[in-house]
């Protein structure tokens, strides 16, 4: 059985050139139809694909939040460990050392040597948050700087001696501060 095109060629109704042209036109039309339908399928994601994309995005955000929380817990654990291992024993301190925390004047009772070291910047006051309670501890300045690298809000008071020594424009540079000054 011969195709319609072959029959038309035998009958002489169409020449070979016209038949080939008609064949190429049909192939172009079918190819164009396939491409447009494939593009339409690619352009419009199905409802399932949209839901999957939303789930993936939500899961990614939840994972980021969990990772941030895990990092915060690790930092607070490091801070707690630094404070507990390096805190200075205040002993039976009888001298009140005042400092400001959250716009309130707080007091810690310390010995005379600890008070002098605090004012010289060798020691620092840091806060330790345990559950709902905030404790204030005294640690060496080097440890306070390590804590400040992790969380600046944990260091309550750190007197830097470099700032006190170097101001040329200070009009009170000639006056000494008395050693027994308390506020």
Q: Which helix (H) or strand (E) holds 74?
A: helix 47-86
Q: What pLDDT, on a 0 to 100 scale, did the predictor assign at position 62?
A: 95
Q: What pLDDT, on a 0 to 100 scale, did the predictor assign at position 116?
A: 87
Q: What pLDDT, on a 0 to 100 scale, did the predictor assign at position 163?
A: 47
Please compute the mean of the pLDDT values over residues 71-95 and round it to a whole number: 87
Bridge partners of residue 126, in order along the sequence? 137, 155
Is the model's pTM score more than 0.85? no
pLDDT of residue 140 exceeding 60, the answer is yes
Q: What pLDDT, on a 0 to 100 scale, did the predictor assign at position 38?
A: 63
Nearest residue to 66 via CA among 54, 74, 55 = 74
Distance of CA 40 to the CA centre of its chain: 40
pLDDT greater at residue 149 or residue 165? 149
- The answer to whether 135 touches 127, Cβ cutoff 8 Å, is yes
Q: What pLDDT, on a 0 to 100 scale, did the predictor assign at position 164?
A: 47
- Going by the DSSP 8-state scheme, the letter that residue 180 receives in this structure is T
Q: What is the pLDDT of residues 9-57, one digit of tens each?
A: 777 777 888 888 888 898 888 888 888 766 665 666 788 888 898 999 9
Percent of the chain topping pLDDT 70: 86
Spans of all domains in the chain: 83-165
Q: What is the pLDDT of residues 154-166, one digit of tens each?
A: 888 888 764 444 5
- The answer to whether 9 touches 16, Cβ cutoff 8 Å, is yes
> Across all residues in the chain, what is the average pLDDT?
83
Q: What pLDDT, on a 0 to 100 scale, did the predictor assign at position 168?
A: 67
Q: What pLDDT, on a 0 to 100 scale, did the predictor assign at position 90?
A: 81
Number of H helices, E strands in the chain: 6, 5
Torsion 163-168-171-176 (CA) sign:
positive
Other beta carbons within 10 angstroms of residue 163's beta carbon come to: 9
């Amino acid at each position: 059985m011969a195709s319609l095109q072959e029959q038309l060629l035998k009958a002489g109704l169409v020449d070979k050139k016209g038949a080939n042209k008609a064949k190429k036109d049909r192939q172009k039309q079918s190819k164009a139809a396939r491409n447009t339908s494939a593009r339409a399928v690619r352009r419009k994601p199905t409802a399932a694909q949209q839901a999957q994309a939303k789930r993936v995005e939500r899961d990614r955000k939840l994972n980021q939040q969990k990772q941030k929380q895990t990092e915060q817990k690790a930092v607070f654990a490091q801070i707690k460990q630094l404070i507990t291992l390096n805190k200075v024993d205040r002993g039976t301190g009888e001298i009140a050392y005042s400092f400001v925390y959250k716009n309130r004047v707080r007091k810690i009772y310390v010995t005379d040597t600890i008070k002098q070291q605090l004012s010289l910047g060798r020691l620092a006051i840091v806060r330790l948050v345990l559950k709902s309670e905030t404790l204030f501890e005294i640690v060496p300045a080097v440890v306070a700087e390590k804590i400040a690298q992790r969380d600046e809000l944990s260091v309550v008071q750190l007197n830097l001696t470099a700032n006190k020594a170097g101001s040329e424009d200070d009009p009170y540079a000639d006056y000494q501060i008395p050693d027994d000054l308390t506020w």
